[in-house]
């Protein structure tokens, strides 16, 4: 762990990438997918819903807002969100955590009521008090979820999405469908859900 290779950062370098696109020669620390527990904890953290209370008994409640380490490991009742992202089944010891990419993981981020709830929480954190404009909202979202400012193209794409999605919801409202929230708010939740589904959120570099 003291080696220069192990300690190098994960910063991307175009010149190096050109020489060794697959990072075979380890010119940087490769991207890694977050582990199941960390994914869920990160979702809770950015949504502002995380209950940071420490210690005390564990739980089998999938809707718990505490960190995933507080899930009770019951061998006959596994936590679907955890096993979906390759948490071992805890029946036997496991020397190494594997990492898979399967469609049910995407389904969870797209459709799970819990994830929608996290996205709603995140939207609540970035909704401007007064109309500060959608650019401000997108900037703030990038800061919270990815720890950086959006690039021009990203900013443009997100702003355009908010406008189009919001118009689509307004159209539905006028067609007689009546979502409970305002069209703009729903569109923002949709954007928040997209942000927490990004590769850049799920993978660390």
Question: Is residue 132 a contact point for other proteins (CB under 8 A)?
Answer: no
Is the CB of 133 or the CB of 179 nearer to other proteins? 179
Single residue of 4, 52, 69, 103 touching other proteins by CB under 8 A: 103
Among positions 154-193, residues that touch other proteins (CB under 8 A) are 154, 157-158, 161, 164-165, 168-169, 172, 179, 181, 186, 190-191, 193
Question: Is residue 6 a contact point for other proteins (CB under 8 A)?
Answer: yes
Q: What does the block give as tokens for 45?
A: 């953290």
Using CA atoms, how far apart are residues 198 and 46, in angstroms rounded to an integer? 14
Q: Kindly report the CA angle at 35 between 34 and 37, in degrees rounded to 5? A: 120
The region of 46-54, 63-71, 111-119, 125-133 touching other proteins under the rule CB under 8 A is 111-119
Q: What does the block give as tokens for 44?
A: 């809770």
On whether the CB atoms of residues 124 and 174 are closer than 8 A, the answer is no
Is the CB of 135 or the CB of 154 nearer to other proteins? 154
Helix (H) or strand (E) holding 183: helix 183-195
């Amino acid at each position: 762990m003291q080696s220069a290779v192990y300690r190098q950062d994960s910063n991307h370098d175009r010149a190096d990438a050109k020489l060794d696109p697959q990072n075979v020669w380890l010119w940087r620390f490769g991207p890694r997918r977050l582990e199941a527990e960390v994914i869920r904890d990160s979702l809770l953290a950015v949504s502002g819903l995380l209950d940071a209370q420490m210690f005390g008994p564990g739980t089998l409640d999938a809707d718990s807002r505490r960190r995933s380490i507080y899930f009770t490991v019951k061998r006959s009742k596994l936590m679907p969100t955890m096993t979906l992202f390759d948490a071992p089944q805890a029946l036997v010891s496991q020397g190494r955590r594997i990492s898979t990419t399967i469609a049910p993981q995407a389904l969870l981020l797209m459709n799970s009521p819990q994830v929608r709830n996290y996205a709603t929480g995140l939207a609540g954190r970035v909704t401007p008090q007064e109309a500060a404009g959608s650019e401000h909202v997108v900037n703030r979202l990038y800061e919270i979820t990815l720890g950086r400012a959006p690039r021009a193209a990203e900013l443009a794409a997100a702003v355009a999405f908010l406008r189009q999605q919001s118009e689509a919801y307004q159209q539905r409202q006028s067609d007689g469908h009546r979502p409970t929230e305002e069209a703009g708010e729903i569109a923002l939740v949709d954007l928040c859900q997209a942000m927490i589904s990004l590769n850049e959120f799920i993978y660390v570099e």
